[in-house]
Amino acid sequence: MRRIVVDAEDPGEPTRDHPSKHPSKLREANETKVHPKSSGGEDGNIFFVTGTRVTNPAIDLHDIPPVHLILLSHYHADHFDQKVEGSLTRDIPIITTPHAKGCLESKGDDSFTKVEALDTYQSMLVEIKSNGATSKKEPAIKVTAMPGEHVPPGPLSTANDILKAVPPTNGCMVELGHTTQYHHVEGDFETNYRIYISGDTLMCDELKEIPKIYADQKIDLMLIHLGGTTIPSPHIPLLMVTMDAKQGIELLKLVCPDMTIPIHYDDYDVFLSPLSDFKKAVEEAGLSSKVVYLDRKDQYKFKTTWTDSS
């Protein structure tokens, strides 16, 4: 398993620019729902899949806490918009798909320099360096690429392979845990908390392997991408490329996490399946106690600990 090291005591400044004279906080969404195409553009627009932002982020890029690592599910502007890409420091570590790695490293002198690519089920161990460590165990994060399919199998998938209309995507399993300090051997990682992030995907046969691979291993939290993204638009729904409420319930029952938080369902004007559809499906399935709904700026907190028997 490959490894990278991040410094927990680094201030983690993610941007190379400074806020402009404009207010750093975006206006509340109920005041301005469509964010204008300012310099750099915050509307999703890549290949022929386009969308206009209708819900603002909870916080501006320059106001977020320290960032030491980015997990990028795929190279698409609704996840990695032009403004964010232009603002980020070029040496910030990024774990992503092989396709996205190629895009991020092909920008000449402006290329990103610390990009790691994972194919499905490949893992990366992120070791957390701390000068004040006193334990023989040190915190670490294991990131494993999970399957993801934007386009259903068959002729459409074949056409997409040729046209490159929708970029390849993946999800990821993020395991918070620890490893034996200075003893870098395979299998020395122990998991304390496991988070599955679905990424932008449809329900597909490949996802059915997840409960087999993680049999008898608890998945504590799932972040599920919903919304039923349609192209070219919800008004002309020729193709759905992310899960709607029905598929979301299928995945919830398949993975059986302790808790699920739906995300990425109302950011742009390309979503056909509103959150209310998922809420109704959750209630009908008797799974309400297993799902938490967060508004922007809400937080879901958890604690993970381990016993140091050294």
* CATH code: domain of residue 139: 3.60.15.10
- Per-residue model confidence (pLDDT) at position 232: 61
Burial of 44 (0-12, 13-18, 19+ CB in 10 A): buried
In this predicted model, which residue has the larger pLDDT, 26 or 249? 249
The verdict on residue 41 lying in a domain is: yes
Q: Is residue 301 part of a domain?
A: no
The better pLDDT of the pair 84, 199 is held by 199
Q: How confident is the model at residue 166 (pLDDT cuts 50, 70, 90)?
A: low
pLDDT at residue 135 in the model: 62
**Is 23 part of a structural domain of the chain?**
no
How far is residue 142's CA from residue 31's CA, in Å, rounded to a whole number? 40
Residue 310 lies in a domain: no
Whether 47 has a pLDDT exceeding 90, the answer reads: no
**pLDDT attached to residue 114:** 95
Q: How far apart are CA 48 and CA 151, in angstroms?
A: 14
Does residue 178 belong to any structural domain of this protein?
A: yes
Which sign does the torsion angle of CA 234, 240, 241, 244 carry? positive
Residue 86 is part of which domain span? Answer: 2-15+28-290
Q: How many CB atoms lie within 10 A of CB 24?
A: 12
Average pLDDT over residues 81-105: 89
Average pLDDT over residues 94-118: 93
Q: Is residue 309 part of a domain?
A: no
Number of independent structural domains in the chain: 1
96 domain-assigned: yes
Say how far apart CA 147 and CA 172 lie, in whole Å: 8
Q: What is the pLDDT of residue 30?
A: 30
Alpha-carbon span 251 to 245, nearest angstrom: 10
- The pLDDT-based confidence of 235 (bands split at 50, 70, 90) is low
**pLDDT reading at 48 higher than 50:** no
- At 268, the pLDDT band (50, 70, 90 cuts) reads confident
**Vertex 239 angle, CA 212 and 82, to 5°:** 90
Supply the mean pLDDT for the chain. 79
Q: Is the pLDDT of residue 200 over 50?
A: yes
* Res. 69: pLDDT tops 80: yes
Q: What is the dihedral of CA 64, 70, 72, 76, to 10 degrees?
A: 50
pLDDT of residue 46: 37
- For residue 24, is pLDDT > 50? no
Class of residue 118 by CB neighbours under 10 A (exposed 0-12, middle 13-18, buried 19+): buried
Averaged over 72-84, what is the pLDDT?
77
Instruction: Quote the distance between the C-alpha of residue 91 and its chain's center.
Output: 20
Q: Could you read off the pLDDT of 124-141 as tens digits, one per residue?
A: 999 988 766 556 778 899
Residue 260 covered by a domain: yes
